[in-house]
Chain A
Amino acid sequence: MANYCIKSDTMTQRGAHEFCLQNEGLNANSVSCQTIFYQNLLEYLQLASVKLLIKQIANPMNFALLILGPPYSTQASASALRFARAALNGGHSIYRLFFYHDGVHNASAMVTTPQDESSLPQQWSELIEQHQLDSVVCIAAATRRGVLNEQEAKRFGKTGGNLSPGHEVSGLGQLVDASLNADRVMTFG
């Protein structure tokens, strides 16, 4: 029997579904996926024949991560990624990822790594997709550093956008909002 922590109030069936598939190797077609909450989760897991011990964690929190470091050059982005994974695995949630300063390079789809090295921008995009995270790249910081979505690229007459999947570009207001509303704010610089 596996022990897993599932956060009760915010983890939707979608999240649980993916979680189970990943950890128990279930067939994605064996269960239907609708947005329901914890009350039905137990039933869902029984349907899916997944042996899980659901433990409601005592103090689930919402984290906001401010990521200031670029990929590759320093360890900050990799540390933030590991922290985000550990928080999600521990049953916590991420209120928002905010990429600012040199951290905006983590949202560049142009980052290309050798085959035997992992790509941080790709890992961020995968984490965002997997957990449906809210990820904001500061538009002013990103534009200065050459990270633009399609719309911005067009607006400034550039050949094409290069924003990685999962991110949206927005203003510093999103950082202020996250600072006011997340339970904990972490800076990775």
Chain B
Amino acid sequence: MLLHTVNKSAFNSGTLGDCLRVVAENDAVLLFENGVYGALDNSHGKFSHREHIQKLSASGTRFYILQADCEARGLDASALLPIFTMINDADFVTLAVEASAIQSWY
């Protein structure tokens, strides 16, 4: 299992899309910093990766989002795709421990 971290907003960067294109079934994806905007449920148009995320999730990819970065930006859990699990810093460490390696997309 690989851990992918994404810290750029999906609304002004292709970073999340670049990441999702090579994510594998058993991998985990963590959105943090400005990356958390990529987890918004009701995003539309070219910025939305909702369908891709849902498809990957259905095939086993796990999606996480960092709580401190959500809170800082006023993103409520209810506004996010339910696929995302809200985690804290300790959980981030645990994910990195479980992963075989970490690819940082920034």
Distance between Cα atoms of A186 and B101 in the complex (Å): 8
B22 interface contact, C-beta 8 A: no
Q: What DSSP secondary structure best describes chain A's contact surface?
A: mixed
* In contact, A184 and B101 (Cβ under 8 angstroms): yes
Closest Cβ–Cβ distance, residue B93 to chain A (whole Å): 5
Return the contact of B106 from the options A59, A87, A185, A189 (Cβ within 8 A).
Answer: A189
Q: Mark B72-106, 1 if CB is under 8 A from A, else 0.
A: 00000000000000001110111011010110101
Residues of B within 8 A of A128 (CB): none
* In contact, B7 and A79 (Cβ under 8 angstroms): yes
A113 interface contact, C-beta 8 A: no
Distance between Cα atoms of A76 and B33 in the complex (Å): 8
Closest Cβ–Cβ distance, residue B9 to chain A (whole Å): 12
B32 interface contact, C-beta 8 A: yes
Return the contact of B99 from the options A75, A184, A187 (Cβ within 8 A).
Answer: A184
Residues of A within 8 A of B7 (CB): 75-76, 79, 189
* In contact, B104 and A83 (Cβ under 8 angstroms): no
* In contact, A187 and B93 (Cβ under 8 angstroms): no
B68 interface contact, C-beta 8 A: yes
| Given A79-B7, A187-B102, A189-B106, also A61-B89 (CB < 8 A) | no
Return the contact of A186 from the options B33, B88, B90, B102 (Cβ within 8 A).
Answer: B102
Distance between Cα atoms of A87 and B97 in the complex (Å): 10
Residues of B within 8 A of A85 (CB): 89
* In contact, B102 and A86 (Cβ under 8 angstroms): no
* In contact, A92 and B97 (Cβ under 8 angstroms): yes
Residues of A within 8 A of B106 (CB): 76, 187, 189
**Total chain A interface residues with beta-carbon distance under 8 A:** 20
Nearest to A59 among chain B residues (CB) is B97
A52-91 CB contacts (< 8 Å) to partner B: 59, 61, 63, 75-76, 79, 82-83, 85-87, 89-90
A37 interface contact, C-beta 8 A: no
* In contact, A86 and B97 (Cβ under 8 angstroms): no
Distance between Cα atoms of A184 and B7 in the complex (Å): 19
Residues of A within 8 A of B102 (CB): 184-187
* In contact, A92 and B32 (Cβ under 8 angstroms): no
Residues of B within 8 A of A79 (CB): 7, 32-33
Q: Chain B interface (Cβ within 8 Å of chain A)?
A: 7, 32-34, 68, 88-90, 92-94, 96-97, 99, 101-102, 104, 106
Return 28 A-B CB contacts under 8 Å, by A number: A59-B97, A61-B97, A75-B7, A75-B33, A75-B34, A79-B7, A79-B32, A79-B33, A82-B89, A83-B89, A83-B92, A83-B96, A86-B92, A87-B93, A87-B96, A89-B90, A90-B90, A90-B94, A92-B97, A184-B96, A184-B97, A184-B99, A184-B101, A186-B96, A186-B104, A187-B102, A189-B7, A189-B104
